[in-house]
Structure 1
Amino acid sequence: RRFAHKGDAGRLLLIAGSRGMTGAAVMAAQAALRSGCGLLTTHLPAACTDAYHAQVMEAMSDADPHPNHNSRLTRDIAADALLLGCGLGTHIDTAALLHDLAERYHDRPMVWDADALNLLAADPALQAKLPPASVLTPHPGEFVRLAGRPLAHDRERIAAARDLAARLHAVVVLKGKYSIISAPNGDTLINPTGNAGLAKGGSGDVLAGIIAALLAQGYPPFTATAIGSYLHGLTADIALADSYLTSLTARDVLAAIPAALQNLFPDPLNS
């Protein structure tokens, strides 16, 4: 899109961060920007904004009235998609904020990650408000809390992901070796990319940021989740070529996003 402007690439609202967890907001934001998001606004606690902007200069921020956790949105922020949860914490004020966001942005696609999933799992009333174009990105522990039952065997993962997607009417990506992606109608994919280097803090924030950026650009939830999961794994595979498995970090994965995008979507302007 040679003549596209930043508004054409989607507006993303990121609700993230809490005291000691600003890094999660940074990772998600950088992943979204590298994945094509045109305009990013991050709502985070007031005490986190300076540290955030030291790492993410390309985004706007909206400071929460509370210094240490997210409690309320004081103004309407234009957004084509939302990402909730990275480093968010589980304060009661934050739970109330999620209720407000689910109502205020009910017609927008949303990625629910990390503590947003933990708050969702503990609150049936919030589950009832889940917007119809939601994407849930649980790791196995978060999945068990959402599903209300353990995963005894790997072979149960596909059926369990399908059941949860159907019950909550949301796209679910059950993270792990060969992540499972299920839609509410039962459509299911198994992601073939990625390696054990992704088993590090921050990698889930990167995945959530990638998927959210694709949603903001107009991809349907199941498509965005499938492409985002494949891209996330591919970035780790590309990053591994210049690293060592146990040394791979989320920052290495972030740095490989442009190469992975070029692999998936060859750009004639870059050739």
Structure 2
Amino acid sequence: MIVLKPAEMRAVDKAAIEAGFPGVMLMEIAGRAVADKVVKFIEPGSKVLIFIGKGNNGGDGLVAARYLDTEGYNVQLILLAGEDSLSDSSLMNYRLCKLRSINTLKIDTIGTDYQEVKNLLAACDIVIDAILGTGISGSIRGRAADLIELINNVDKKVLAVDIPSGISGENGSVLGKAVKATWTLTMAYPKPGLLLYPGRKYCGQIGVVDLTVPEKFVLNEGCSHYTLTCSEALDWLPTREKTGHKGSFGKITVIGGSPGMDGAPVLTGLAALKTGAGLVRLAIPGDTLSISSAYSPELITTPLTKSDNNEPDWNIISKVMADSDMIVAGPGFGRSKTSSEVIKKLISTYHKPLLIDADGLNVIDDIKLLKQRKETLILTPHPGEMARLLDEEIKVIQQDRIKIARQFAVDKQLYLVLKGAATIIALPDGKIYINTTGNEGMATAGSGDTLAGIIAGLLSQGLAPEKAVVLGVYLHGLAGDLAVQDTTSYSLMAGDLIDYIPAAIKKLIAGSGGELK
């Protein structure tokens, strides 16, 4: 699904209107969808309090007011702008509301103690937030800030129109104060601020309203942000031929492990198998071989180092490289001289897909090597690892995750999975995917190892790299969302994620996995 920045959405609206789609029609569709959402959750006769701003966001709220009034709801408007400041379409709808005698409280008649607003909030059954749209910037002040605080201070269901007022549609930042919504209905396409934190936690359940604007107007804008939906994820899921065998579903080697970290490559290997890989081999240091071998009979193990001095056995490594369809390097590998040498050799000489995770990232001391590689390269850093790669502070990475991920992926011509809430997937062509699945329970040791295995399992089955990384992150988060329902976010462990991969795949096939509705 396409994700549009606020400026891109405005350009699409402008192009559509100039091509013959009346702005008032777009407002009508949006407002009707808001009213329909209310009808789904509360009965006619209920009290609906709608806060109306001066922009088109407020106009959508006025259309909703008209429809709800005709459906028998007790509608009350609070108008934050004078009639002379309303757009033409909003003014027309405001006048239609007046013709229907819908109760309206104007902002210039509200006392400084806001007692009348407080009384209306206390008596209503649902609040509709149509104060501010996606085009705002700078800190919210004055009456708007006061009313946002009043809305948040009452225990009421809140439906936000397009975006919760006070959230930046550009990056999800809170512009001083923001409405905490139960539901958010965004128009035409999701905006980055709905999917990125902290904005995402203010949105509640997110729905997307189809304004019927042809997609050609969007494509003409050269959009570069996306999110994956359940239906798209199902379309990308690799097909399984009935005549297939373990070789046709891919042979993966996981290179990693070190004393005390022998479980990490096992998690990666098991996740790859659960995702559909045909065969997984662990190439691990000899001093951890027996421990890792004991974890699972389905995993093949190979000593990575010589038995007498624990130095890399380059003969074995060369054979592993020749016999693998792809390699995952780094889980639990440590930061030794051995791990550094092996990672450098893989980057320079392995000519099939390579995924580098965890300690594999931490031993890269010259990122110029990454740009020199011509074959598929996938990096899966968390913010700390990304900061080390760029020699930056973590807070710098977190301030603009999309920009940093895109610049790195394009410059180095690789696939970058910048983990976190929400995970950002950057492709070499500059496209960005914002993941919508996952939860706080997944912030646990080994979670990243399982993600690497899921991506590898998809890639080994022939899925294109861009689809494997995006779908892998989505499936990983979906498995976490299913697991947390049984384990709680306190008790979720990486092994649970592996156990719930089959359930996540089944949910995709059933058509109900993490969809924006």
Query: Residue 153 and residue 117 in structure 1: after superposition, are their counterparts in 2 closer, same or farther (change >3 A)?
Result: closer
Q: Which residue of 1 aligns with 2:506?
A: 262
1:252 counterpart (490, 493, 496): 496
Q: 1:125 to 1:62 in 2, by over 3 A?
A: farther
Q: Which secondary structure does the structure 2 equivalent of 1:232 belong to?
A: helix
Which structure has the larger Rg?
2
Is the contact between residue 88 and residue 115 of structure 1 (CA under 8 Å) also seen in structure 2? Answer: yes
1:190 and 2:417 matched: no
Deviations 1:77-100 (A, max 9, x none): 211111000001111122111222
The answer to whether the aligner puts 1:139 opposite 2:139 as a matched pair is no
TM-score by length of 1: 0.92
Checking the alignment, whether the CA contact within 8 Å between 1:44 and 1:69 is kept in structure 2 is no
Q: What RMSD in Å do the two structures reach over aligned CA positions?
A: 1.9
Q: CA deviation at 1:249?
A: 0.6
Distance 1:191 1:92 in 2: 35
3-state SS of the aligned residue for 1:172?
strand
Distance in 2 separating the partners of 1:40 and 1:263: 25
Q: Does 1:127 align with 2:367?
A: no
- Which residue identity lines up with residue 45 of structure 1 in the other structure? P
CA 1:265 to 1:215, structure 2 compared with 1: closer, same or farther past 3 Å? same
CA contact (8 A) 1:83 1:212 kept: yes
Q: For 1:71, which of 312, 319, 332 is the aligned residue?
A: 312
Inter-partner Cα distance in structure 1 for 2:410 and 2:397: 21
Could you list the runs of 5+ residues in structure 2 that have no partner in the other structure? 1-240, 511-517
Q: Secondary structure at the match of 1:51?
A: helix
Distance (Å, rounded) in 1 between the aligned partners of 2:310 and 2:267: 18
Question: Is the 2:367–2:389 Cα contact (8 Å) retained in structure 1?
Answer: no
Preserved CA contact (<8 Å) 2:454 2:472: yes
Instruction: Find 2:330's aligned residue among 85, 101, 125.
Output: 85
Between the aligned partners of 2:288 and 2:407, the Cα distance in structure 1 is: 38
Q: Which amino acid aligns with 1:44?
A: I
Deviation at 1:148, TM superposition (A): 2.6
* C-alpha distance after superposition, 1:235-256 (max 9, x if no partner): 0000011111111111111110
Matched, 1:61 2:304: no
Q: Contact conserved, 1:214 with 1:224, CA < 8 A, in 2?
A: yes
Residue number in structure 2 paired with 1:116: 360
Paired residue secondary structure (1:41): strand
Distance 1:2 1:205, change over 3 A: same
Q: Does 1:232 align with 2:232?
A: no
- For 1:248 and 1:184, the matched residues in 2 are separated by 33
- 2: CA distance between counterparts of 1:206 and 1:178? 17
1:31 is the counterpart of 2:276: no
1:102–1:131: 8 Å Cα contact kept in structure 2? no
Superposed displacement of residue 74, structure 1: 2.1
Structure 1 segments unaligned to the other structure (5+ residues): 267-271
- 1:269 maps to what in 2? none
Report the secondary structure of 1:40's partner residue. strand
Q: Counterparts in 2 of 1:147-226, with a 5 A limit?
A: 147-150=390-393, 151-152=395-396, 154-226=398-470
Cα distance in 1 for residues equivalent to 2:509 and 2:287: 39
Q: Distance in 1 between matches of 2:314 and 2:278?
A: 22
CA distance in 2, matches of 1:237, 1:255: 12
Q: Can you list the C-alpha shifts for 1:162-210, whole angstroms capped at 9, x where unaligned?
A: 0111122111011001100001110100000000011000000000011
Any conservation in 2 of the 1:193–1:237 contact (CA below 8 Å)?
yes
Deviation at 1:71, TM superposition (A): 2.4
Deviations 1:2-31 (A, max 9, x none): 221111100111101011110101111111
Q: 1:124–1:252: structure 2 CA closer, same or farther, 3 Å change rule?
A: closer
Segment of structure 1 superposing worse, 196-205 or 143-152: 143-152
- Give, in whole Å, the separation in 2 of the partners of 1:69 and 1:226: 37
CA distance in 2, matches of 1:153, 1:18: 29
Tell me by how many angstroms 1:129 deviates.
Answer: 4.3
Is the 2:436–2:474 Cα contact (8 Å) retained in structure 1? yes
1:72 deviates by: 3.6
Q: Does the 8 A contact of 1:136 with 1:172 survive in 2?
A: yes
Name the counterpart of 1:12. Answer: 252
Moved more, 172-181 or 256-265: 256-265
Give the corresponding residue for 1:3. Answer: 243
Following superposition, the deviation at residue 213 of structure 1 comes to 1.2
2: distance between equivalents of 1:231 and 1:143? 23
Aligned 8 A contact 1:69 1:88 in 2:
no
CA distance in structure 1 between the aligned counterparts of 2:377 and 2:509, rounded to whole angstroms: 25
What's the offset of the Cα at 1:153? Answer: 7.0
Deviation digits for residues 133-164 of structure 1 (CA, Å, limit 9, x no counterpart): 11110000001111232343745000000011
1:44, 1:63 within 8 Å by CA — same for their partners in 2?
yes
Counterpart selection for 2:339 from 90, 94, 98? 94
Change (3 A) 1:258 1:105: same
Count of paired positions: 265
Q: For 1:140 and 1:164, how far apart are their aligned partners in 2?
A: 13
Structure 2 CA distance, aligned partners of 1:200 and 1:129? 34
Give yes or no for the alignment of 1:50 onto 2:287.
no
